[in-house]
Amino acid sequence: MKSLRDHFLRLDARSLGLFRISFALVLIADLFTRWRWVRDFYSNEGVLPNHNHLFNLRDKEQVFSLFHAFSTVGEAHFAFSLTLVVYVLFLIGYRTRVFHVLSVVLLVSLTSRNILLENAGNYAAIALLALTAFLPCGSRFSLDSLRASMALRDEQRDTELNDSSTTPEAEVQAGRLPGWSPTSLAALAVLLQLGLIYLCSALQQRGDAWRDGTAFYYALHVDRWASDAGAWLRGALPLGTLTGLTYGFRAMELAIPALLFVPALFRFTRGIAAALMLLHGLLLGLLFDFGLFGWALVAAAPLVLPAELWDAYERSWNERRARTIVYDADCGLCLTICRLLKRLDLRGHLAFQGNTALDELLVRNQTGATERLPMPKEVTAELVDRTVLAVDRNGRVFLRGAAVTEALLALPFGWLAWPLKLPGVSHLLDAAYELVATRRHRISALLGKQACGIPLPDEAHADGSGAEDDAPAGPAPAARTARAVAGSLREAAVLVVLAAMIAQTAKENPLPGAAAIPQGKVLAAVASWPRMLARWDVLAPEPPRSNGMVVIDGQTRASKPIDPLTGEEPGLDPAGHPAAGLGQLWTDYLDRIRRPAWSGFQRAFRDYLAKGGPLSEGGKRDHALSGFDVYWIAAPIPAPGGPPPGSDAIEREKVMSHSRGGTKRLDAGPGSSPRPVLRRHQPLN
């Protein structure tokens, strides 16, 4: 039962820390993607002013967005800047729980500010970020955990720096970082959420293209979906490879939920699940423009890494990366940096030695213990007074900036420090090192550290006696009661969110034979307000067999034909249309704005285009339009190996007009009479 509890009700603190870092990077990348179009989608000068958005959503959608309080472009830039600060603080793990919750609020606000841009990626990202907010994502690999560890163990000597008897995990538990909760229903909720995303997606992919293996072929030929890499690969990869990707992709979606909940062979099943999640997410993220969907699943892959894999990684000692750092024992700054390096050195590659005793060299071995080897002849008292040293097991000595580089190379992801070895870069590093080294005692004093002559422990504790008497016996009864109450409230909140998530998933993803789950107003509100709508219908039931795109036939005041989205003449063929290169935000918006269900938002879009659309950035009026027509143009995707469609196969539907309209008759084929168009709604005139 303990094993099952650890498997389903716990996520390793190291997995949570890596998830926090990877997910924050995804959030930052997504923010910069949106920032490019901040005027167009997040200000009142764009396609959807605040008042228009709220007016059209009254009594229809429950939305909450802090960004509704920012109207001008400058205000929107300010809001995005604050969001970036929150995401960065979440990334480094400073007051992690606070900035985790703020990241959830801001991601919900970005999504709810313009719901014409949202898709399954937003729903998945919000759900995962909200559920993990109940877990201790700052207990490892964070500024919070680093500060707690530094406070718990105040090493003063190299012997204490080389002591590996206390693990970071034990230190974190002893210090009880804010949010530390080894066992929680939130862990199970995260696993269920991940499993439902993959399972519901796979079960809804029931079309013929998934059965005959052409789903990836057709999906990559939808220009508004395919990324630049996907558009290139669809012509470079043979049909057999695309067929294999189709079957393999769906097999991964079915296998991942099973692997997550197999109650045996945890090290292997969870490790394989993490690898498949990474591969599945990369396929979506690299080949398609589905917003956050693929990248959120990539960032979630570390969540399922089991403790056994982390333990195996930390035992994977590499002799070639072992280094001994010889530092100035009288420098408070040097000691602080060594204490920091010790906590970043997960695999125990670094040994530390003060410059007070140079008869022998202390080196770390594979067991974590220190050995004594002969000191290299070039290491002298004068040398170590001038610079820090890094010495490898072969006796090679590195000085100044090179020593810093070698210390970094011994850490996890140390390969990122290789550019510091390049000529020019290494010289700059040496200059920066000298700048700091010559002022290290002054910097130590500014940091509140003893500049020289670091005091030893009190005489009463010089031999280690009495230390346990000063250690706290444990939290006070009032603190234990407060933790119990807070933990109970947390678990109750997790239970409500979990119930809302399951009910919403059943509602939005109806599966054959599945029983309906009553939702009620409370659970519906818990799911709808933060936009956790759980619509996992990506590429379901199958990709479309036609390639469609919005084309704007506009004319300037000089009667020059122009598409304000692309700056070029209106194109008649959706294949390779420049508007597809605008990215996921524009393609999702254009695909929705043409539909009757979103007709209430078309007036704001018409006003935006009349001012020149994206080409009027900065208030320029050169591209203001005297008239335009908006069309949806679609062409059938040729069957594998078939000929491309002719111009007569292109279908055109007028969505709206403004003033005198455009300069071309796009609703008519070349050299033919106008084609009749089935009007599902009246265009805005």
Beta bridge partners of 361: 373
- Cα–Cα distance between 350 and 348 in angstroms, integer? 6
Q: What is the mean pLDDT of residues 139-143?
A: 91
**Helices 185-204 + 120-132 axis angle, to 10:** 160
Can you spell out the DSSP letters for 383-418?
Answer: HHHHS-EEEETT--EEEHHHHHHHHHHTSTTGGGGG
Radius of gyration in angstroms for the set of CA atoms belonging to the chain, rounded to a whole number:
30
Per the document, the length of the chain is 685
Q: Is 478 exposed, middle or buried (0-12, 13-18, 19+ CB in 10 A)?
A: exposed
Distances (CA, A) of 664 to 58, 176, 553, 572, 624: 38, 69, 7, 10, 18
Amino acid at 228: D
The alpha carbon torsion through 228, 234, 240, 241 (nearest 10 deg) reads -10
- The reported pTM is 0.90
Q: Who's near 355: CB < 8 A, 6+ residues apart?
A: 326, 327, 328, 329, 381, 384, 385
Give the pLDDT confidence score for residue 665 in this predicted structure. 55
Q: Is 682 exposed, middle or buried (0-12, 13-18, 19+ CB in 10 A)?
A: exposed
- Cα–Cα distance between 53 and 67 in angstroms, integer? 12
Q: Which two tokens stand for residue 570?
A: 């209106």
The most confident of 174-178, 397-401, 480-484, by mean pLDDT: 397-401
Other C-beta atoms lying within 10 Å of the C-beta of residue 503: 20
Structure confidence by residue, pLDDT tens digits, 321-339? 999 999 988 888 888 899 9
DSSP label of 553: E
- H helices of 96-214, in order, are 96-113, 120-132, 143-152, 158-161, 168-175, 185-204, 208-212
Give the pLDDT confidence score for residue 355 in this predicted structure. 86
The residue ranking higher by pLDDT, 621 or 576, is 576
Look-up of token digits 């996992």: 536
Give the pLDDT confidence score for residue 545 in this predicted structure. 94
DSSP label of 43: S
Can you say whether residue 507 is alpha, beta or left, with left for phi > 0 and alpha for psi between -120 and 50 degrees?
Answer: alpha
DSSP label of 545: S
Q: Which two tokens stand for residue 48?
A: 């959807």
Other C-beta atoms lying within 10 Å of the C-beta of residue 372: 10
The alpha carbon torsion through 141, 143, 144, 149 (nearest 10 deg) reads 80
Structure confidence by residue, pLDDT tens digits, 380-422? 888 888 889 999 988 899 999 999 999 999 999 888 889 999 9
Can you spell out the DSSP letters for 285-345?
Answer: HHHB--TTHHHHHHHHGGGG--HHHHHHHHH---GGG-EEEEE-TT-HHHHHHHHHHHHH-
Give the pLDDT confidence score for residue 271 in this predicted structure. 94
- Cα–Cα distance between 674 and 631 in angstroms, integer? 14
What percent of the chain is modeled with pLDDT above 90? 52
Give the pLDDT confidence score for residue 370 in this predicted structure. 84
Structure confidence by residue, pLDDT tens digits, 561-584? 888 888 888 877 777 777 777 889
- Cα–Cα distance between 185 and 124 in angstroms, integer? 19
What percent of the chain is modeled with pLDDT above 70? 89
Q: Which two tokens stand for residue 269?
A: 């099943």
Confirm if 283 and 352 have CB atoms less than 8 A apart. no
Beta bridge partners of 374: 360
Least confident of 286-300, 326-340, 655-669: 655-669
SS3 of 129, please?
helix
Q: Is the pLDDT of residue 467 over 60?
A: no
Q: Who's near 558: CB < 8 A, 6+ residues apart?
A: none
Q: What is the mean pLDDT of residues 229-233?
A: 92
